[in-house]
Amino acid sequence: MLALFLVALDQTVVGTAMPQIIADLEGFEKYAWVTTAYLLASTAMIPVIGKLGDVYGRKWFIVGGVVVFLIGSALCGAAWGMTELIIFPGIQGLGAGMIFANIFTSVADIFPDPARRAKFQGAFFGVFALSSVIGPTLGGWITDNLDWRWVFYINIPLGIISLFALPIVLRQSATRRSVKIDYPGAVTITASVVALLLALSWVGEGYDWSAERVVYGFIVSGVLLAAFIPIELRAAEPIIPLSLFKSRTFTSAALLMFLVGVGMFGIILYTPLFVQGVLSQSATNSGTVLTPLVFAMTAVGIIGGQIIARVKPFTTFGAAMMTFGVYLLTTLDTGSTTGTVAIYLTITGLGLGLIMPTATLAVQTIVPRELLGVATAATQFIRSLGSTVGTAVVGSLRTSGYARDLKANAPEQAPARLVSALDNPQALVSDEARDVLSQAVSAIPGGPALLNDVIETARTALSDAIHSGFVVILVTTALAIGAALLMKNIKLEENKPETPEEATPPEPALAATLATALESDARDDEDLRLAKFLRFVDLSPAEQRKPEESTALLGGADRIETGNGDYPALNHAAAGLANGHEGDERERAIHASETIVRPFAELDETSEKIG
């Protein structure tokens, strides 16, 4: 939760401050690049780290992600130009990708029952709520009253708290260290995604879709993707198992997440620009306007988790609600008010809150446990890919539409130099830039009035350009309704723990199963000796059991209960004996040790302990 809070807070705090940051560093034409660098790095990391988390366990990837994220935050705060502010968020993105690839799968590790997991996801959405509600306002306040660099520095104390807490409270998930990593697949999909996102970023920067570099980017991405498919089909442990797409639920959920990603990030990124640049509001006020979106999204996610029984009604209604909210956003213009924007964003957030957790829950419900991490990471990867596509497309429409409308509609008497000065509309979001323009036109007869006319023209041009972007988002959210309708109506049923009378008694192979697991985990000769002894334990009736047999079983129980990640195979084997007990794998393993292995041992107080 701490790691999720850290990343979610950063996204909402920085989003509100971006117009002022770009104005200060004079890089409006690179507005989309800052966010795209973050998305590019995080998106490329998600599928690879998701797979590695399945193999090596998720705990230390989350901790490592926090460390990398903090390094990127410190560098972003110290950025001295737009080039650095594009590179350093990329480092942040690497850390965020490591966190996002594993954090939602960790929820499934802790709560294996889908119905119970849906209820406890409310707690995670509560964390998102806290960060999302305070983030926009906090970012605006920092920008208006301190310095925008502190929107990055604020991550450092929060991250340090996470680094102290995570190694202690987060348990390691099961590991499979003998698995062969699909390095060719990892390299190929990463390179393909980077090429695709670079092409989309150039479009967002203002290049035509037919520009040479854009076309080459799409071609390279397509060729690498074509190479990735046969690599994955041959790989023993593919980074993204293509068999997942045979599932209608997974495919429809992935499509839904992509389409929602296109809309969600475009709204979060460009609504503050609309409020500041078109409605002439401060950064603080633009942050306040975003708050209803994330608050509604989180509140609905928490409530929905408590009442959800089937997936399809929630995703379908959520997609329809989001589509209606985006339609309302397309009606905004220069005469709108911040209150109107807030209402429309609230409606949009109600839809988002129903879609995102439910789609993830559906995927986690239908995949095998050994694919839990890679399947969850795949949906996050596809959502991030959609976010980048949305950023590029909306950014392209905003850049080209603004420049075109400004030149076409500027007052005839306005000097060309004055109009061209607003090609980069810093004067719409920066008081300092407006002061500079005011001084420049002060010597011209009627200069102040002319400047006001040009600025109003620029506001209208920016409003129309952002409107075009919202229309594209409206189309994608409408398509999301179709994706939701394709999803199977999965019923979430809670697996209730069996009563002691219903529990399956230990099979004769219990000791041999534990022995095999301990042999693979053996840390020293003492572990090997105990594993060898366990293999020959005769699970005879208690009254006929030898003391050494009981002692051997207790030695295995001790390692299950106190290993704390040192014996992953042994924990996995014991968890399989838990008979539906709730909790993560370690909790189920301890439950099996305490209720099956130890009682079955019935150690005599005079027995000699082995290892």
Domains in the chain: boundaries: 2-181+237-399+478-486, 403-459, 510-601
pLDDT at residue 439 in the model: 74
Q: What are phi and psi of 105, to 5 degrees?
A: -70, -30
- Does the pLDDT of residue 103 top 80, yes or no? no
What pLDDT is recorded for position 611?
43
Sequence-distant (≥ 6) Cβ neighbours of residue 476 within 8 angstroms:
259, 262, 263, 390
57-66, 125-134, 375-384: segment of lowest average pLDDT: 125-134
Q: List strand residue ranges (DSSP E) for 43-178, in order.
A: none
Mean pLDDT computed over 532-555 = 64
Residues contacting 575, CB < 8 A, separation 6+ = 174, 585, 586, 588, 589, 592
Helix (H, G, I), strand (E, B) or coil at 180: coil
pLDDT over threshold 80, residue 92: yes
Of 42-51, 82-91, 250-259, 581-590, least confident by mean pLDDT is 581-590
With a cut of 60, say whether residue 508 has pLDDT above it: no
Cβ distance 32 to 80 under 8 Å? no
- Over the stretch 336-357, which tens digit does the pLDDT of each residue have? 888 899 899 999 988 888 887 7
**What is the percent of the chain with per-residue pLDDT over 70, rounded to a whole number?**
73
- Give the gyration radius of the chain's Cα atoms: 28
Mean pLDDT of all residues in 430-454 = 73
- The structure tokens listed for 441 are 């036109």
Q: Which of 2-6, 242-246, 363-367 has the highest mean pLDDT?
A: 242-246
> Is the confidence at residue 500, as pLDDT, over 60?
no
Secondary structure (H, E, C), 506-523: CCCCHHHHHHHHHHHHCC
Residue 328 pLDDT class (50, 70, 90 cuts): very high
- Confidence band for 534, pLDDT divided at 50, 70 and 90: confident
What pLDDT band is residue 219 in, cutting at 50, 70 and 90? Answer: very high
CA–CA dist 80, 66 (Å, integer) = 24
In this structure, are residues 188 and 228 in contact, taking their beta carbons and an 8 Å threshold? yes
pLDDT tier at 601 (50, 70, 90 boundaries)? low
Task: Spell out the CATH class of 2-181+237-399+478-486.
Answer: mainly alpha
C-alpha torsion angle, residues 283, 285, 288, 289 (rounded to 10): -100
Q: Check: CB of residue 580 under 8 Å from CB of residue 498.
A: yes
Nearest to 513 by CA among 563, 569, 594: 569
Structure tokens at 367: 């995949």
Q: Span 521-529, mean pLDDT? A: 76
Confidence of residue 548 (pLDDT cuts 50, 70, 90): low
- Using CB atoms within 10 A of its CB, is residue 412 exposed (0-12), middle (13-18) or buried (19+)? exposed
Rounded average pLDDT over 31-39: 71
Cα gap 572→586, rounded to integer Å: 8
Which stretch, 71-85, 253-267, 407-421, has highest mean pLDDT?
253-267
What phi and psi, each to the nearest 5 degrees, are found at residue 491?
Answer: -95, 130
Is 310 in a helix, a strand, or coil?
strand
- Those residues whose C-beta lies under 8 Å from the C-beta of residue 549, and which sit 6 or more positions away, are 537, 538, 539, 540, 601
Length reported for the chain: 611
Residue 186 pLDDT greater than 60, yes or no? yes
